Amino acid sequence: MIDEVVLGLFRAPHSHTSENVVEISCHASSYIINRMLQILLQQGARLAKAGAFTLRAFVKGKMKLSQAEAVADLIASETQAAHQVAMRQLRGGVSQEIAALRQRLIDFAALVELELDFSEEDVAFADRRQLTALLHEILQTIERIKSTFALGNALKNGIVTVLAGRPNAGKSTLLNALLQEERAIVSPVAGTTRDTIEETLNIEGVAFRLIDTAGIREAGDQIEALGIQKTFDKVKNAAILLYVFDGGEQSAADLAADLEKLHHGNLQVVVVVNKMDLLAARSDLSAATLQLQAGGEGVTWVYTCAQSGEGLEALKTAIYDTAFTPAARQAVAGSDTLWCNTRHIEALSQAAAALQAALHCIGSGNSGELLALDLRQALHYLGTVSGEVSTEDLLESVFSRFCIGK
């Protein structure tokens, strides 16, 4: 006697994998589990590899590859937004549109292939005008999908948000206040945050990956210099910069100089004027003149007192609004599929290149053989999205992301 268990029997095809399945629910002792596994293995059972059950469900045609990937995303989702993106993908929306277009392309490709059999006779079964229109239609669809990727990816993986500013501006205090915990070291000694700290802040169900950085100034030593260099690296990869301005003593000129140094193409900037309690007491600078003197077009301004917590709600709203344009907010709230998988986007890019080559072939009146080759390539890449076309390597890389037992 090892344990008293519950056996659940799922008869084919009414199981996740469409096969006969027995599930054993036992008590959660690692001794019991190991003992039972030993016995089952002695009786000829095999241990499942990562994702083995979802792979079987895919092979049995119960789900598309993109849906299987959505299962992995669902398991990994930690916020409402990530869950929602995975759920929409699981419902199959992602690949349906592509599969339909691919089917239409298959019909044309078959005609082009047929022409090759009659190459001596110089016939064209596939109407080049209609084919060209279809190729454009698919390319446009791919472009549209690619344009939603940034949003889907941000919802799935979180939005990289970097806190930067001069030493002692209050970055660490602000981070702790936002997270409502003592995560970063707060100290009146400048230059104490030397490494970067990353924490997730959830605003309205979306993950913002807040990264606290070393203060920007002339480094006092080598370690601090490395920290400052890291700050610049982090800002380079960020979507949002929260520049923390020290309302107690910083000048508008310093702010303008730092923004100039940190800015890059896709960066959204929020200037957090912290220590507003001290700013109010200053004779040299007021909130109004600060904005005028520092300039910074397209920058959002928020005033906080990190110590008392004043302005924090406004800051969270500003972060959220900076990340999402009204159109993006609508997309988040809507039910359309948001593409968020890098593998899909890469496959679509490859398909787009092949489609462009096919268009070029038609335009320059190249032989049908080259056109057929480009179409085959495009069909291959389009097919890998939902898994109509799959190779062992592809399946291996998709399912190895799963955990054992899924």
Residue 158, both tokens: 């979180």
Binding piece for ligand GDP, criterion CB under 6 A, among 303-311, 321-329, 346-354, 384-392? 303-311
Rounded to the nearest 5°, which phi and psi values hold at 274? -90, 170
Determine the Cα–Cα distance for residues 56 and 362; give it in Å rounded to an integer.
41
Determine if 307 is a binding residue for ligand GDP (CB under 6 A). Answer: yes
Least distance to ligand GDP from the beta carbon of 28, Å? 43
Determine if 275 is a binding residue for ligand GDP (CB under 6 A). Answer: yes
Residue 309, both tokens: 């917590």
User: Contacts with ligand GDP in 190-229 (CB under 6 A)?
Assistant: 193, 215
How long a stretch of residues is the chain? 406
Determine if 306 is a binding residue for ligand GDP (CB under 6 A). Answer: yes
Among the listed residues 34, 36, 30, 47, the one whose alpha carbon sits nearest the alpha carbon of residue 4: 36
Residue with Cβ nearer ligand GDP (186 or 238): 186
Is-contact 166 216, C-beta < 8 A? yes
Among the listed residues 316, 332, 325, the one whose alpha carbon sits nearest the alpha carbon of residue 152: 332
Binding piece for ligand GDP, criterion CB under 6 A, among 15-23, 104-112, 272-280, 391-399? 272-280
Among the listed residues 249, 160, 257, the one whose alpha carbon sits nearest the alpha carbon of residue 211: 160
Question: What is the enclosing helix (H) or strand (E) of 200?
Answer: strand 197-203
Determine if 305 is a binding residue for ligand GDP (CB under 6 A). Answer: yes
Applying CB under 6 A, the site for ligand GDP has a residue count of 20
Determine if 167 is a binding residue for ligand GDP (CB under 6 A). Answer: yes
Residue with Cβ nearer ligand GDP (114 or 179): 179
Least distance to ligand GDP from the beta carbon of 231, Å? 11
Determine if 169 is a binding residue for ligand GDP (CB under 6 A). Answer: yes
Least distance to ligand GDP from the beta carbon of 186, Å? 4
Least distance to ligand GDP from the beta carbon of 235, Å? 15
Determine the Cα–Cα distance for residues 396 and 387; give it in Å rounded to an integer.
13
The interface mask with ligand GDP, positions 173-192, x = CB under 6 A, is x------------xxx----
Give the pairing type, strands 6-10 and 21-25: antiparallel
Is-contact 90 164, C-beta < 8 A? no
Residue with Cβ nearer ligand GDP (19 or 277): 277
Least distance to ligand GDP from the beta carbon of 188, Å? 4
Of 278, 285, 328, 395, the one binding ligand GDP by CB under 6 A: 278
Determine if 170 is a binding residue for ligand GDP (CB under 6 A). Answer: yes
Q: What angle do CA 190, 194, 199 make, to 5 degrees?
A: 110
Place of tokens 């309205």: 204
Paired strand residues for 305: 310
Q: Contact positions toward ligand GDP, by CB under 6 A?
A: 165, 167-173, 186-188, 193, 215, 274-275, 277-278, 305-307
